[in-house]
Chains A and B, each alone.
Chain A
Amino acid sequence: MSITDMTAVELAAAIRAGTTTSVEAAEAMLDRIEKLDKTYNCYVTVDREKTLAQAKEVQSKIEAGELDGPLAGVPVAIKDNMCTEGMLTTCSSKILGNFVPMYTAEAVLNLQRAGAVILGKTNMDEFAMGSTTETSAYGVTKNPWNTDHVPGGSSGGSAAAVAANECFYALGSDTGGSIRQPASYCGTVGMKPTYGTVSRYGLIAYGSSLDQIGPLTRDVTDCAAVLEAIASYDVKDSTSIERHDTDFMSALKDDVQGMRIGIPRDYFGDGLDGEVKDAVLKAADGLEKKGAVVEQFDLSLTEYAIPAYYTIAAAEASSNLERFDGIKYGYRTEDYAGLHNMYKKTRSEGFGQEVKRRIMLGSFVLSSGYYDAYYLKALRVKALIKKAFDDAFSKYDVILGPVAPTTAPKLGSSLADPIKMYLGDIYTIAVNLAGLPAISLPCGADKNGLPIGLQLIGDCFQEKRLIQTAYTYEQIRGPFPMAVKEVG
């Protein structure tokens, strides 16, 4: 087995055992990126020297016994909307094309404390707005399973990098499915934790009340290890929650005996691809055979989650993105006449079409005369959706369903019809509105060989149940194939 084929936890064990080193792993991975990334374009920024310097430092700490965690020495890829001190952080936008942060996001710092080595920054939909990674200002990322298809988004670069073995694991962020959906399209594990579990300090905000950083990994074990490392109470993030149950690796148990699993009928209606449906239901059967109590139920309100989400996310985004004005950092237009013209030209040239579309929608729904009808209405619907989940979790430990209605669409087929693209978020979005944790893991492939994702949703703070169920399912399913077998 090539070193780059190892999972993160396997690699850390090998480094601890002395059979390889962090530097060797980093070099192997950098070589692979050099060969493969021309094809897949997972990364916006890779800095070989910096990576190797970090690896050397981490390796010496491991040898000195200062670092011995389950991820110590393992190279990681970071989505390009998390600030990294001294390393370009673009959000895949022209407006931040030259932005070098003066500090590192708390989640990334937590990884570094655990001995992570940063390989680079991964491509994404601009400011995390999109479901395909095609809105990036730095080129599309291609799905490693089939380069005619998108990797999903917005964390498409992170998911594709994991799938193509261009990193051992990656961080993504999930505002409406941005970790789970690309994980599903790329055949990797992706998890969105309970809101407040991972600090948002240093995550460049899209929808602040919805954004959450989470892992993209090759298997559930890595997912638990990464989540355990990044979860922390952060006094710099007022929405951070102090938890004492973040020993997520303790939930890696092959056991679903008595686990109550609810399958929402609403998630299996029109629009769901037949192959996806079959694969997901087959996974449910497998869990049932292992002793889970599986039952169908009506979640309700599913079709209202998307309009509520786009209202809230666009409103928050319109405000969050006001700071990109050409004054303190980032792009400033060349020629302008006066302040307001500078603002307008900078922003119009610096932002891409999808970002502008959402900023305009968000500005409109907050504007005088529309706030109550749109924004407050959406917040009321959000309350109803939260209540629907509360009701469901009074009966079930886990909700099981698909991640997306289809497998990865072809490149260039999504952006022309935004509403159709937004509809693809139907199974992931309500989770963000309700602040819940959810995991996506591969459960099969369609006839074209594109991966299908299984989604497990838990009640707030119930990540362990998700990890346990996902881990058990992984044992049923067996190893998932790799997207890219040979490096040519």
Chain B
Amino acid sequence: MANIISDETIEYVGILAKLELSDEEKEQAKSDMGRMLDYIDKLGELDTTGVEPMSHVFPVQNVFREDVVTNGDMRERLLSNAPEQKDGMFMVPKTFD
């Protein structure tokens, strides 16, 4: 396997993706990701010099909306799925910024 994924990398990706893995899952993830990256490295065989990265496949451009209020108060429906709510707001663990 050309790509060796370290414990630090898995730890780091876990922070980015907000995932907490058990030790067993970590080992599995290291091996899975290493194999996937080996596979993705195949793209390196292609010479893409001068090729623009294509994020949008069709040349659709300039899609806008007018600056007109179309939405009313829909708080109750928006909050209806919240695991916890209070005073018309979504409740979250204490945060400091």
Contacts and interface: CB of A to CB of B under 8 A. Distances in A.
Contact of B33 (A306, A339, A347, A360): A360
Contact of B40 (A307, A351, A353, A380): A307
Interface in B1-44: 9-10, 12-14, 16-21, 25, 29, 32-33, 35-37, 39-44
Interface of A is mostly: helix
Interface residues on B, range: 35 or more
B66 to A, nearest CB: 10
Interface residues of A, number: 69
B60 A241 contact: yes
A383 B54 contact: yes
Contact of A361 (B21, B33, B43): B33
B69 interface: no
A195 B58 contact: yes
Contacts of A364: 9, 13, 33, 37
Contacts of B17: 318, 347, 356, 359-360, 362-363
Contacts, number: 163
Nearest to A85: B77
B63 interface: yes
A339 B94 contact: yes
Interface string A70-103: 0000000000000000000000000000111010
B82 A344 contact: no
Contacts of B54: 379-380, 382-383, 386
B51 interface: yes
Interface string A372-398: 001011111111101000000000000
B28 to A, nearest CB: 8
A434 B56 CA distance: 10
B83 A326 contact: yes
A345 B22 CA distance: 11
Interface of A: 98-100, 102, 195-196, 209, 235, 238-239, 241, 301, 303-304, 306-308, 310-311, 318, 322, 325-332, 336, 338-340, 342-345, 347-348, 351, 353, 356-357, 359-365, 367, 374, 376-384, 386, 418-419, 422, 433-435, 460
11 contacts: A241-B60, A304-B43, A307-B43, A308-B43, A339-B92, A347-B18, A348-B19, A360-B13, A363-B16, A384-B51, A419-B39
